[in-house]
Amino acid sequence: MSYANCKSSCTAGLVGLSLAGFLLSLYTSYVEIRVERDHSYQAMCDISERVSCTKVFSSAYGRGFGIVGDLLGDDSPLNVPNGFYGIFYYFLVAGLAFSNSILVTKLASYLIALSNLLSIYLAYLLYFVLEDLCLVCVATYGVNLISLIVALQKVQILDQEEQVMRVMKKDQ
């Protein structure tokens, strides 16, 4: 497979994963807004008392990752549902994925790595603090992990391509 095919496959993979993450974030935001307006609302992902997305999204950790409210206050305009951050983040990653610049791709990889660190933090809260299983959350963690693998593959491909170009220039 040529470098161009690998790059385009990685780009398509990152865009597709970003779309999946975007839709999961959109659903997360929808559920949180619905629960705020109707406390009896049950999301499709609520299977039991211990497997409940609604419980997680409406917890203190469902806004600003449980951090923004503590630092800036609950009334801060940055203390929004986590899904809103996800919508922005996945849109940004999808946009960055179209670049074949090694610097832009590394930036995207760093952002994706940060999202994976945030996923680890949120998974800890999910299992050990809230003692719940949120299927949408777990799916989001999976999207983030696979995105990191694909982004790192793209960095490796672009780096190899750059090395080949340097050798070719040197030989001329």
Domains with residue ranges and CATH for the chain: 3-171 (1.20.1440.130)
Helix ranges (DSSP H) in the chain: 3-37, 53-57, 68-72, 82-97, 102-124, 135-171
- Farthest CA pair distance, the chain: 72
Q: Give me the mean pLDDT over the 91-120 stretch.
A: 97
Report the pLDDT value the prediction gives residue 4, as an integer from 0 to 100. Answer: 60
Query: Which pTM does this prediction carry?
Result: 0.91
Residues 31 and 111: beta-carbon distance below 8 Å? no
Query: Is pLDDT at 163 greater than 60 in this prediction?
Result: yes
Helix axis angle, 135-171 relative to 82-97, nearest 10°?
Answer: 20
Asked if residue 130 lies in contact with residue 59, where contact means CB atoms within 8 angstroms, the answer is: yes
Cα pseudo-dihedral 154, 156, 161, 166, rounded to 10:
140
With H, G, I as helix, E, B as strand and everything else as coil, classify residue 81.
Answer: strand
How confident is the model over 112-150, as pLDDT tens digits? Answer: 999 999 999 999 999 999 999 999 999 999 999 999 999
User: What's the pLDDT tens digit per position in 56-89?
Assistant: 998 999 999 999 988 998 899 999 999 999 999 9
Tell me how far apart the alpha carbons of residues 28 and 22 are, in angstroms, rounded to a whole number: 10
Residue 83 · residue 136 · CB < 8 Å: no
Greater confidence (14 vs 49) lies with: 14
d(CA 101, CA 106): 8
Report which residue type is found at 41.
Y
